[in-house]
Amino acid sequence: MGLVTEEVRAKAEKYSGDEICREKTKTFLKEISMPNGLLPLKDIEEVGYDRKSGVVWLKQKQSITHKFAEIDKLVSYGTEVTAVVETGKIKKLTGVKAKELLIWVTINEIYTEDPPTKGKITFKTPTTLSRT
């Protein structure tokens, strides 16, 4: 977890246990104006959030693949997901991939339109490809 240094961990809010971690994940997403179901993780072991730097991390027992039925997309979440967050944006995202045609593509940024009420979310890859 490159973003999550000992210094960041020391300053961050940290939570352990699936139930409280799911609740806190929903709270964090709401605070940054992102959709509640964006991180449908299971068996979460730890969630941390350093509000000053915006670094967030989530650890789960095993990787999961979730199908977003509304957009007919498969998304894979690794055992560790890290990011830097700000209102309407998730940057430097690690641990998340989406299936495009027959290949898994790494997602490194997610953001909403301004204002976020339009219901559009854009996903970007390290190669600057994106899908809204």
pLDDT reported for residue 86: 92
Two tokens, residue 104: 């898994």
The DSSP secondary-structure symbol of 26 reads H
Residues 80 and 94: beta-carbon distance below 8 Å: yes
pLDDT reported for residue 3: 85
pLDDT reported for residue 76: 94
* Cis peptide bond prior to 40, omega within 30° of 0: no
Pick from 105, 109, 103, 106: which is nearest to 132 by CA? 109
Cα separation of the two ends of the chain: 27
pTM of the model: 0.87
Compute the CA torsion angle 19, 20, 22, 26 (nearest 10 deg): 140
pLDDT per residue rounded down to tens, the chain (132 residues): 478 888 988 999 999 999 999 999 999 999 998 888 888 888 999 999 999 999 999 999 999 999 988 888 899 999 999 999 999 999 999 999 999 888 899 999 988 876 555 678 888 889 877 777
